[in-house]
Structure 1
Amino acid sequence: MSRKTITLFMWGYQVYYRVVVQLRMNNVLEELGVAGAGAECLLVGAKIPGESKPYEVCVEPEDGKWPLAIFDGLLTAIESEVRDHPLRNIWYGDEPSMRDKPENIRRDSVRKAVQSALATYDSENDVRSFAGEPARVGGYYIVPVLQLPDGLFHRFKPLEPITDASPSLIHSAVAQVLRDAHDELLRPDPGRGLIGRSRSADDIVRRAAADFMHTPALAIGTQNFDGADLFERFNLISSLMYEGTEGTGRMLLANPDGPSVNVLLELSEPVPFRQPRWARKVLQMASSETALIADCEDILGLGTIADGFDPWTTQNVFTVEFHGHYHWSLCCGEEVLLVSRFGAPSLPQERFPRHRLIDTFRRLFDEATNEDVEAFIVLFDTAVAQHHGSMLVVARDAADEADRLRGQGTRIAPVKLTSQLYRHVSDIDGTILVDPHCVCHAIGVILDGAARPECTPSRGSRYNSGIRYVRASDIPRMAVVVSDDHTVDVIPVLRSRIARAAVEEQIAALESSSRDNYHSAINWLDGHRFYLNQAQCDRVNAALERIRREPMEVGSVMIDWREFEPNPGLTDDYFENDE
């Protein structure tokens, strides 16, 4: 049986280790609300001085997109970093720290040299590389490197770099994954059995959020900050009720003596965050116009951001917005940095992706004009912005349905529904029924429809009635469900249109792949099974069977992929029009 030879060999589990670290990073990003980010991992091995090894530098994967030429002169660069390292001028008062200093300097120098070597590659390929802390394995300093698309940092803007602080929740999450990756390198046979020891993605994200919440304290220069877990403290404050009401309001984290805020009311006795019930009580004083003023340790009074002051420019004042029960967010200026709902941190998300909403509306109602689409978006935004739940149903047969359901709602003379009208009529219980031109025919409607498999007791009656009503007829209908907990659902959500060429490209990539490099293609195809016809499914299954028959390396793992079958619901409407 033939076996694959690793030319740039560092240790036996290097392939498996790299794949698991890459998978972990993508799972963490998905937990943060960024699915399909496409984070990648590479390993760089720099020969340890004095070791006898055939290669000075190794890269895993050796046949991937990172050629060895990227790291030409790496060992020389490491020695230069060692000579100029700032720790060389630091003296410690204890013997163990002085003993460890040379090795700590060298490891940090390896990391810096690898990070620097990737700078040109990053700019040419629109990615950002994060080099983790090295560890000695198999005669090499092994540096795990995570690469993320640069577009992520345009979508979720980071703060300016701050010493000893993460500039974004993404940076903090990357640091957590790299920390775990380094810890694994310190074990015998790193990578062997790694999945069983891995922290869950949600655990990593919570730890990342807790670390990131130290950043505001460092940015505003809070004196005597004790490193308290502000993430958990704000979770606790937001979870508490005061005389039966949820906590809403704003809190400004700032230096009260600085120019960024105007203090309108100063508390004689500051309210510490470590006393959450007291903090929740004073939150009741905050409003949309006036916020609590705090310094990351204590609530100090009430005030506002100073006139003409731009928080994003100075980045020394942050807003904590308490939206309701167990729901808060951290902002700097207009940029939302972190959102927490029921203790689960995430990056800010659109309530529903705008492009998906418009695409679904147009495909369901081809008679709708551009003006109709704009009118619908206005109604959608109005429904989402309200502080209470509501439901809007768009139906091609709205006029007939208003007549049929007249005993379960209030018929009205047809009128074009505006944002202002929507706010008025949504104050009563029941559904608002409009046609594709956003002409309203009935309000306060109690919908009917038979039970459906999609219904679930974990969701409220409003959501389940929307499912039943929309699915009860073949006539195009669409429901926008805004629940009282501010969850937004659109029923149905049509699958996105994709290019036929994209499917063919990934199938061809799989057919030309081996066990070593088939992962990208099969992961894409697995997520797009719906779009494959019978002939394409047969080609994918044949390629997977060929790959399964290839010999496996010691320590390697292969997923047993479920057989591909065509979906009977696939139609030409799910593909982009060919140019």
Structure 2
Amino acid sequence: MVKIKSGYPQLLKYFMWEWQVYFLISAKVRAESLFNEINRKLDPVIFMIGVSTEDQGSPLICYEPEDMDYLENDIDKVKELAELLDSKDPDRNMYYTGDGMNAEMKNRRVRKNFRLAIERALDESESFTDKIHFVANPVNRNGYDVFIVLQLNRTAYNSHVFLHKVDPEERLKKHLSLIEAAKDIYLENQSHLLHLPNAGRDRGPERDSTELLRLAAKNFLYTIGLVGRSDALFKFQPACDAVSLTSYERSENEGYMIIAQQEHEDIEMILEIDSPFLITEYRKLRKELQLTGNGLAVITDGHKIYGLGKQKNTYNPAKEDIFHVFFRGKYCYDIVHNESTILRMRYGSPDHTNEQLNKESFALDARRIFPGITSDQINNVYNLSMILAKQDRGSMLVCIDDAANEANRLHNQCIGIKPVKLDAALLINLSSIDGAVIVDRNGIAYAKGAILDGVVGFEGDASRGSRYNSAITYYEHRGWEKPTMIIVISEDGMVDVIPTLMPQIMHSEITKLINILEGLSTPETFERTTFYEIMNLLQRRKFYLTNEECNNINLLKTKLEKLDQTSGEYTMWIKHDNFVPNRLMNNRYYLKEKEEI
């Protein structure tokens, strides 16, 4: 198919308001900053759909960016789907008192179901594979209801730990995971910014990814607080924060607390307090936590502290109404349900580092690294990795094609062994000494205690330990030459898979950003904030740039930086580093483009 250049983004085929291109750029920057911090495999994509509220004029549906109009057939189904959802909505049976309230609540219900219909239509679209969509409440701009759409990788999204219990009769919004709370906070923030008169030019209040994550964690903790009693909603989270900061006679801030309904049938009280005290009496609670340990916990309903007790073996995890809080030191605590950590709070922010391996993500990486690898082989390597991940010590597994020759090459830096198929007991034994275990994709071991070689490169992380950095150095020096996967288990329980594969993208993402830079390159069109945000987006995509694109961007950057410095509006400027191509980049990182007429 021949692509016809439309003139976008200087000329808009679908005009909703003057600054819509810049608003979308800003939304992309925020989304990538937030969701890449949670999980790099989420691969956030942002676009907007505008629906005419006047049922006249042209066009009735707008898309930003305009090349998303290939979704036209999917969006055509939304009206009928929304009517179906609305016909089944139990809120239709609600009657509201007060002048005009019935009409107002009906309008809210219809708009909600239209939004949900967009989500479903996009989720079911044949245009997407393994994607999940979330749509913000619409904001009206010049006769269009503008819906902001957040698209994430479904496998990566579902790899996060979720609660499952939802009460359809409950009116209060509950968040079932940190990632769900984060996407809601993001969309609410963007909807708020979309209300600004010149959204896209007017910046509004800026919230960085750290602040958004803290708000997401707080909202998730509200859900946990509700399991005790409704008035504990806003008490439980502040109590956890305050107690984790409160020391008792210079001892470590440790302890164990259970939140559940008062007199819960699956809680056994061992030592009851005569006069239960409020959870807001933080020093008193801190003192009580000193008595916990060996399975004994402080029992609370989020409102009052009732004494010491423990969870019975009769508890059914599907009920999701008993949660455990483990205080891990100064300003650190974990929320646990059914022996699974659902939230780790560290110094006021959620620590979203994956402690264990998600099987689906692991399999996707394995198939990209090892051409032709079978499901049985993936299971072999995954199971071996999980065995190591569950040990209380650091270790490393190197899975490499031609493992026999690699063990021979490293013979002075490892203990070679006769090829042997690993099982759990043998792997635990081999990993008990320092160094890596070298295996092939079939789970056959060839060496133990391997000290990996390599030349220090560019990808190390000074905040991480020697085991992680030696794996990075080895892969940078030798791993890219042949299919190699390294699983690193750190002493603190973190699990890393090396290489961290970059997600696949459409090459048109790069060309669009370059086109916008070109459009800013005159004194009349230069816009500083947009320039900086485009450079931010390109910096996040620097891995994908070809040599020609690097040269083009560097020339444009120099020209735009000169415009920035000579505008006369500012006395300080940002100087951006030149872009250079990455030697690991190849066309396999590009997705197939949508065909255009």
Q: TM-score, with normalisation over the residues of structure 1? A: 0.65
Q: What do the CA deviations read for 1:388-446 (whole angstroms, capped 9, x no partner)?
A: 556778997778978779xxxxx99999897668778988xx7246554547766xx99
1:199 to 2:204 alignment: no
Say yes or no: does 1:190 pair with 2:195.
no
RMSD: 5.9
Distance 2:457 2:301 in 1: 52
Task: State the shift of 1:351 in Å.
Answer: 3.8
- Residues 4-83 of structure 1 aligned to structure 2 (within 5 Å): 6=12, 9-33=15-39, 35-45=41-51, 47=53, 54=57, 58-61=61-64, 63=66, 64-65=68-69, 66-67=71-72, 69-70=76-77
Question: d(CA) in 1 for partners of 2:434 and 2:173?
Answer: 48
Q: Distance in 2 between matches of 1:451 and 1:5?
A: 48
Match of 2:76, SS state, is helix
Between the aligned partners of 2:368 and 2:454, the Cα distance in structure 1 is 23
Residue 174, structure 1, aligned to residue 174, structure 2: no
The Cα offsets for residues 55-77 of structure 1, whole Å up to 9 and x where unpaired, read as 69553438434546356599999
* 1:141–1:387 Cα change, 3 Å: same
| Matched residue, 2:108 | 108
2:217 maps to which of 181, 190, 209: 209
Label 1:320 to 1:115 Cα distance change in 2 as closer, same or farther (>3 A).
same
CA distance in 2, matches of 1:572, 1:10: 35
Residue 272 of structure 2 aligns to a residue whose secondary structure is strand
My pick for the range that moved more, 477-486 or 33-42, is 477-486
1:342-353 equivalent positions in 2, closer than 5 A: 342-345=347-350, 347=352, 349-351=354-356
The question of whether the paired residues in 1 share the 8 Å contact of 2:82 and 2:114 is answered with no
Deviation for aligned residue 1:216: 2.4
Larger mean CA deviation between 155-164 and 238-247 belongs to 238-247
- Bigger drift between 114-123 and 1-10 goes to 1-10
Q: 1:214 deviation in Å?
A: 1.1
2:307 aligned with 1:301: yes
What is the CA distance between 1:203 and its match in structure 2? 0.7
1:215 positional shift: 1.3
Residue by residue over 1:500-522, the C-alpha shift from the partner in whole angstroms, topping out at 9 and shown as x without a partner, is xx78xx44787799958x9xxx9
Query: 2:320 corresponds to which residue?
Result: 315
* TM-score, structure 2 as length reference: 0.64
CA distance in 2, matches of 1:321, 1:422: 31
Partners in 2 of 1:302 and 1:260 — Cα distance?
A: 14
Say whether the 8 Å CA contact 2:136–2:188 is kept in structure 1.
no
Change (3 A) 1:276 1:109: same
> Could you tell me whether the CA contact under 8 Å between 2:554 and 2:578 is conserved in 1?
no
- 1:270–1:426 Cα change, 3 Å: farther
Q: 2-side partners of 1:167 and 1:375: how far apart?
A: 35
**3-state secondary structure, aligned to 1:257:** coil
Residues 116, 135 of structure 2: 8 Å contact kept: no
Conserved? CA contact 1:131–1:146, under 8 Å: yes
Instruction: Confirm or deny: 8 A CA contact 2:395 2:431 kept in the other structure.
Output: yes
One-letter code aligned to 1:192: R
Note the alpha carbon deviations across 1:25-56, whole angstroms, 9 max, x for none. Answer: 343222332544334342435537xxx98469
Aligned equivalents of 2:346 and 2:233: distance in 1? 25
Equivalent residue runs for 1:107-186 within 5 Å: 108-109=108-109, 111-112=111-112, 114-115=114-115, 117-118=117-118, 121-122=121-122, 124-125=124-125, 127-132=132-137, 134=139, 137-138=141-142, 140=143, 142-149=145-152, 151=154, 154-156=158-160, 157-159=162-164, 160=166, 162-168=170-176, 169-186=178-195
User: Aligned partners of 2:581, 2:378: CA distance in 1, in Å?
Assistant: 33
CA distance, structure 1, for counterparts of residue 586 and residue 211 of structure 2: 41
**Is the Cα contact below 8 Å between 1:511 and 1:543 reproduced in 2?**
no
Amino acid at match of 1:155: S
Seq. identity, %: 23
The answer to whether residue 260 in structure 2 is matched with residue 254 in structure 1 is: yes
1:290–1:304: 8 Å Cα contact kept in structure 2?
yes
**1:146 match: secondary structure:** strand
Unaligned runs of at least 5 residues, structure 1: 92-97, 406-410, 550-559
Structure 2: any 5+ residue segments left out of the alignment? 1-5, 126-130, 519-534, 560-574, 591-597
Residues 376, 124 of structure 1: alpha-carbon distance in 2 compared, 3 angstrom cutoff: closer
The residue identity in structure 1 corresponding to 2:184 is A
C-alpha change, 1:509 and 1:61, in structure 2 (3 Å) is: closer
Mapping of 1:456-467 within 5 angstroms?
457-460=462-465
Residues 106-153 of structure 1 show CA distances to partners (whole Å, capped at 9, x for unaligned) of: 86356325325536514523644434264x543x37443334458366
The SS at the match of 2:50 is: strand
